[in-house]
Amino acid sequence: MGQSKLVILGTGGTIAGRADSQSQGVGYKAGQITVQSLLEAVPDLEQQALGPVQTQQIAQVDSKDMDWPVWRALLRACTQALEDADTRAVVITHGTDTLEETAWLLNSLLPATKPIVLTCAMRPATALLADGPQNLRDAVTVAASGGRSGVWVVAGGEVHAAAQVQKVHPYRLQAMRSVEGGPQALVEEGRVRWLVPDAPSSPAAPSARAMVPAAMSSDLLALDELPWVEVVFSGALARASGVDALVAAGVRGIVVAGTGNATVHEGMEAALQRARDKGVWIWRGTRCAEGLPVASGLGTNPAEADLAQLPVAKARIAMMLALAAQPRD
């Protein structure tokens, strides 16, 4: 029969949000509309999909509340779709707030055998000029176009790789951006124009694959929760007490959003070393909006081996997955 079917998985988010009036752009309830109903706002969706469409409602959540049970169900649904020879590609409707984290999770754990395309919206489905229908249509176009496997994010007419995409604005329609390098492709009038023609699949961030398990295992999906990891910001007047409190409460890993080139306030350094001595994983990233930490190459700081080559939100997910793969005593 061939890879003819497109699978669309719904998780909720603003794209499925409902407001009291068409003019309301904030204060709405996310995840109120089913994924099947979202398809009805795009009359030529099956035409863009180049074949039949199958929908599945994974969850109906505001993505700020994303949790491991939803992620686990999403991973299982994606795995089933990827293993189905009749599936051409997978599209996922998602909220913008944690979309970059979900994209990175899927990119880390799923094989890059078919396109997996996440899309979203900044306005609820009930808005006078809702952006969700166009984003969904563009995502289906990218998924059905073939030739580019891996995990992608489509929004505002742009196609972003999972490793680079970040939410950079709390309100504007162009809220998703690849800060380093820009979008990988554009969607124009129902056609995809790739800006990086030689990329066979969604690229990973430098050194990022080494942070996570090579492939998803049944052991991971059997977990009731992922290991506890927190992000701690370093800055002026930083103190040790926050780190000490997290360690006392049982945190297993800390990603430090450091200043500049992943530097850390001297008031926090000693607490991080105490945490490391107790077996807590410590990675250092940068709170800068652009760029990643660059090691000095002088070999004077052994902690440079723990520089997170990802934005801190994604580094946190990477550490959770890496910790989950470690044997526990």
Active site residues: 14
Q: Cα–Cα distance between 236 and 259 in angstroms, integer? A: 9
Q: CB within 8 A of 23, min separation 6: which ones?
A: 127, 128
Structure-token pair, residue 88: 């051409």
Q: Cα–Cα distance between 13 and 57 in angstroms, integer? A: 12
Structure-token pair, residue 4: 């003819």
- The CA angle 108-123-201, to the nearest 5 degrees, is 25
- 65: exposed, middle or buried (Cβ count in 10 Å: 0-12, 13-18, 19+): middle
- Parallel, antiparallel or unpaired: strands 150-155 and 115-119: parallel
For 35, 37, 39, 96, the CA distances from 42, given in Å and listed in that order, are 12, 10, 6, 20
The count of C-alpha atoms lying within 13 angstroms of the C-alpha of 164, restricted to the half-sphere facing its C-beta, is: 19
For 4, 13, 30, 70, 289, the CA distances from 61, given in Å and listed in that order, are 29, 6, 7, 9, 27
In b/e form, how buried is each residue of 116-146, taking b as 16+ CB within 10 angstroms? Answer: bbbbbbbbbbbbeebbbbbbbbbbbbbbbbe
Query: Which residues in 175-273 belong to E strands, given as ranges?
Result: 176-178, 185-188, 191-194, 229-233, 253-258
Report the DSSP beta bridge partners of residue 267.
none
